[in-house]
Structure 1
């Protein structure tokens, strides 16, 4: 297995760019737009991101075809982009094991830092017991022996009994040498005691996936973070990390409280569409490009879009000074 450099600092959960299909195909109105990733990666790097997490929930993996996911990760793994970032982590989780491995082989062959895996989510066709969860991870690990593996622990894919209690399960898996490529987790749960045990007693690299909980996570010694709002708040969150390192906890707390309010605001209406539009304002100002104002979500209404536009105006007025 290739060496894995421990994560540190901010890894941004990347947004997948979309554009309207020029052929005006009503069955496929939007397609991904990899042409803007060069500028997008520069924007993230300049704002203090040490890495990216590609094809996760923020990247809309559940509504992308396997071919779209391959195109997306290929774009992020170009040498010109890869060289700007310490880590390019590719999420490969999905319902079809064959596609999971196909994505993983591609990531491994194209110099990804690691691959991340969720569990399949529909209970009837997904592992639920301890034995079956370990066996699933084991089969992924042994099928992809050359690349470090992360578990993407998040509600909705990790069974509810385990999402806040992974330590016993992973200890059993590691003690039995069932997952030899496992190096860490993106831990999108607020049970930092479980995360602390995984880090301290199993030696796993833990990146906390709850942006608004950075201050609490820092106090427990976590130094790596993956999240969606780092698309716009990387500099401010990096400042919190610096303040905590120098013991300036009061200023860190004050800034954290304001960021928490901003996050609560931006997540109140059509979060991912609203986040995309806010990021676009910065990208257009700096590079003249956009991630697209539309997504492949087939259920959004015109009212949703209008509400999102209105929230963007309010958000920029109230929190524009926080944006990178």
Structure 2
């Protein structure tokens, strides 16, 4: 892994494979790493986030997963970013120390969502205390207000953040507010921060606003087509970039209409990659067989798009 390399491009928000008994399944992580690299062209991962059911895992499970991704990704992946956010400051600090000790390339923290922080200063203080436990690796704020209920504008947070958190390097921006995102990009004119967009179906819009990369669940199995979109956009071929984005939107619009959450993401990944992701952890319920059959038919109907079944 290459901590000195800037985090950019696609970052797969990893799924946590589980056995049918609901235990984490570490045995397929090596295969998962190779699949991302060889089939999807994705060399960066974001572990134990929302897609990975991080807040449904025990602290020990989160440590085991982080260790496995770092070990299996060694000399293969460019970045293994470990999400260490919890509802407890001591637990988040412990996970941050652990991530640094095992050689992770960065950590990220979501805002606590039960006892909600109501102002910028309190949120920054929480983030600062966690980041200070891993001062030698990059720190990223994970902004996902529709789940946390924390709607403090990221533009406001970025003002003075580097003075408070010296190892702060960017944001995972999982919100549809392109006004806030655009203001962040305007203030990032020197490229000092990684602005990683997290709403996959709107990635092209975020690129036009100034996104430097993207973190998302669909890059696990749609990395190939999204990489083509990134390449087209970078070369100034907006027509082709739109074509790829519209193709992604057609598929995502279809699955969202069916009801698309972590259980369905796991089912789609299992279908496309051939790697068994298993069921989600309760209280989430597995995707239905009907959903899987509909998705398979939809993928097969998109012959003009570079999707591939395993």
1:172 Cα deviation after fit: 3.6
Extract structure 1 runs of 4+ deviating beyond 6 A. Answer: none
What is the SS of the residue equivalent to 1:120?
A: coil
> Which residue of 2 is the match for residue 95 of structure 1?
87
1:299 Cα deviation after fit: 4.7
Q: Distance in 2 between matches of 1:229 and 1:235?
A: 10
Aligned residues: 301
Answer yes or no: is the 8 Å Cα contact 1:207–1:225 preserved in 2. yes
Larger Rg: 1
Answer yes or no: is the 8 Å Cα contact 2:263–2:285 preserved in 1. no
Answer yes or no: is the 8 Å Cα contact 1:150–1:182 preserved in 2. yes
TM-score under structure 2 length normalisation = 0.89
- Say which of 39, 59, 63 aligns to 1:66: 59
- Say which of 94, 101, 113 aligns to 1:121: 113
What is the SS of the residue equivalent to 2:196?
A: strand
Answer yes or no: is the 8 Å Cα contact 2:93–2:129 preserved in 1. no
Q: Write out per-residue CA displacement over residues 77-129 of structure 1, whole angstroms, 9 at most, x where no aligned residue.
A: 10x4232111110001111112111111111011111000001101xx23221
1:252 Cα deviation after fit: 1.8
Shifted more, 312-321 versus 179-188: the winner is 312-321
> Which residue of 1 is the match for residue 139 of structure 2?
149
Q: Distance in 2 between matches of 1:316 and 1:144?
A: 42
Answer yes or no: is the 8 Å Cα contact 2:146–2:175 preserved in 1. no
1:274 Cα deviation after fit: 2.5
TM-score under structure 1 length normalisation = 0.85
1:159 Cα deviation after fit: 4.2
> Which residue of 2 is the match for residue 300 of structure 1?
285
Aligned: 1:290 with 2:290? no
Answer yes or no: is the 8 Å Cα contact 2:266–2:280 preserved in 1. no
Q: Write out per-residue CA displacement over residues 180-207 of structure 1, whole angstroms, 9 at most, x where no aligned residue.
A: 2211011112233433443443532111
Q: Residues 299, 239 of structure 1: CA spacing in aligned structure 2 closer, same or farther, 3 A cutoff?
A: closer
Q: Distance in 1 between matches of 2:157 and 2:31?
A: 41
Answer yes or no: is the 8 Å Cα contact 2:93–2:133 preserved in 1. yes
Q: Distance in 1 between matches of 2:170 and 2:94?
A: 21
Q: CA RMSD in A?
A: 2.2
What is the SS of the residue equivalent to 1:195?
A: helix
Aligned: 1:274 with 2:256? no
> Which residue of 2 is the match for residue 26 of structure 1?
none
Q: Distance in 2 between matches of 1:136 and 1:156?
A: 20
1:50 Cα deviation after fit: 2.5
Q: Residues 3, 113 of structure 1: CA spacing in aligned structure 2 closer, same or farther, 3 A cutoff?
A: closer
- Say which of 98, 101, 110 aligns to 2:102: 110
Answer yes or no: is the 8 Å Cα contact 1:49–1:234 preserved in 2. yes
Aligned: 1:170 with 2:162? no
1:157 Cα deviation after fit: 5.1
Q: Distance in 2 between matches of 1:110 and 1:11?
A: 20
Aligned: 1:244 with 2:227? no
- Say which of 4, 11, 25 aligns to 1:33: 25
- Say which of 275, 281, 292 aligns to 1:309: 292
> Which residue of 1 is the match for residue 166 of structure 2?
180
- Say which of 123, 126, 131 aligns to 1:136: 126
1:220 Cα deviation after fit: 2.4
Q: Write out per-residue CA displacement over residues 203-246 of structure 1, whole angstroms, 9 at most, x where no aligned residue.
A: 32111111111211222232311111111111111111111122
